[in-house]
Amino acid sequence: MTKKTLIVLGALTLVAIVLAFAATRGQPRIEATDQAGQVLFPRMVNDIDKLKSVVIKHSGETLTIDWDGKVFRMRERGGYLVEAEKVQALAVRLARLSKLERKTAQADRYDRLDLGDPAAKGGQATQLTLQDAGGKAIADVIVGKRKFTLGGREGGTYVRLPGDPQTWLALGELMVGTAAHDWLKTDIADIKGDTIKRVTVTHANGDKVAASLGPNNAFTLENIPRGMEMVTPSTGDDFRKLLEALKLDDVAQASTVTFPKDRTTTAVFEGVDGFQITLETFDDNGKYWIRLKGSAPADRADAAKLVADLNARTEAWAFQVPQYAIVPLTKSMNDLVKKPDPQGARPAMPQGMPGGMPGGLPPGFMAPPRP
């Protein structure tokens, strides 16, 4: 880690331990052994500057986050960037954990606290290990259920140290993300819709849908069939806003994901400043993968910078995204238009009664006398 990062992280950890001690004193008195109240990993403050890797094991799967000297990267995702702030926050929460109450030491009861075998498929236990460059553990703990009813300002977490049969209720909330997107930098693109002038979508079967900027800044479908209209007034806007706040669910190196021609849809986004961004997507059994690449005129500095930044993030990667993020690209023209509602149409009156009252006139009803 850089000196600045280490100083900040070390200072946060030290402050966190002090806060943990203060919080422990504010908790209700709980009878426990002489180990109660001890910080779970007292050496973390001294050893945190040696941190090289964070290893998370859950339900037979492993995620490894490595420090490369400048940034954190996820090993199982080809070295994709990880949010450093999330790693730092995890280390602070881990440093704060202190033993509060001794729990079961019987292995057949571990699962009740989600403290069983982290390697067991379908299990709920999570093993968190912080390692130095040599693979030596700086901290190693199995994390189970959380407890919210301690009666104080802070909750608790059930924990077990590997190799030790004793389990503990620890003071502090240690939430360890077990999915890749819990740690990865999720931003793919954030290109504002008002910078887009046209979007052209070509489906794998050759069918095309285009939407473009029209009068009054309205973004509408082109070549709408005669006698039809857009399903909603915002149908066109859904296309131009698609690259706004686009985030990933997962990621893979581009070389490991094949985009089959007979299943790939291509969308071209044309910018008002002359840039062009091509997005390709296909459905891999319910998993939607995309890849992006941009280009821009060299004489348009703002457009060139926008595209350069985008390409730097995306050119070596394929991204899995949630289906809702690319819904417009999955629809044909028939899905996007409808017949207009007849002008002035009114709901039909129920049959067999005047004034639309079901069942005819009520008993005893007398019509008002005619004038």
Quote the tokens at residue 254. 């581009």
pLDDT of residue 216: 86
Give CA 344 to chain center in angstroms: 46
Of all residues in the chain, the percent with pLDDT exceeding 90 is 78
* Residue 101: pLDDT over 70: yes
pLDDT of residue 181: 96
Bridge pairing between strands 72-74 and 53-58: unpaired
For the chain, give the secondary structure using H, E and C.
Answer: CCHHHHHHHHHHHHHHHHHHHHHHHCCCCCCCCCCCCCECCCCHHHHHHHCCEEEEEECCEEEEEEECCCCEEEHHHCCEEECHHHHHHHHHHHHHCEEEEECCCCHHHHHHHCCCCCCCCCCCCEEEEEECCCCCEEEEEEEEEEECCCCCCCCEEEEECCCCCCEEEEECCCCCCCCHHHCECCEEECCCHHHEEEEEEECCCCCEEEEEECHHHCEEECCCCCCCEECCCCHHHHHHCCCCCEECCEEEEHHHCCCCHHHCEEEEEEECCCCEEEEEEEEECCEEEEEEEEECCCCCHHHHHHHHHHHHHHCCEEEEECHHHHHHHHCCHHHHEECCCCCCCCCCCCCCCHHHCCCCCCCCCCCCCCC
At 342, the pLDDT band (50, 70, 90 cuts) reads confident
pLDDT of residue 370: 55
pLDDT of residue 31: 35
Of all residues in the chain, the percent with pLDDT exceeding 70 is 81
**Which tens digit of pLDDT belongs to each residue from 173-206?**
999 999 999 999 999 999 999 999 999 999 999 9
Give me the residues paired with residue 139 across strands: 130
* Residue 345: pLDDT over 90: no
pLDDT of residue 4: 43
* Residue 1: pLDDT over 80: no
**Span of 78-87, 180-189, 336-345 with lowest mean pLDDT:** 336-345
Whole-number Cα distances in Å, 343 to 30, 85, 111, 119: 73, 57, 64, 64
pLDDT of residue 148: 84
Cα gap 26→252, rounded to integer Å: 47
**Which tens digit of pLDDT belongs to each residue from 15-28?**
444 444 343 334 33
At 64, the pLDDT band (50, 70, 90 cuts) reads very high
pLDDT of residue 37: 80
**Span of 168-172, 195-199, 295-299, 367-371 with lowest mean pLDDT:** 367-371
Q: Give the relative orientation of helices 84-96 and 3-25 as an angle to the nearest 10 degrees.
A: 40
Q: Is 148 exposed, middle or buried (0-12, 13-18, 19+ CB in 10 A)?
A: exposed
pLDDT of residue 65: 98
Give me the residues paired with residue 147 across strands: 156
Q: Is 153 exposed, middle or buried (0-12, 13-18, 19+ CB in 10 A)?
A: exposed
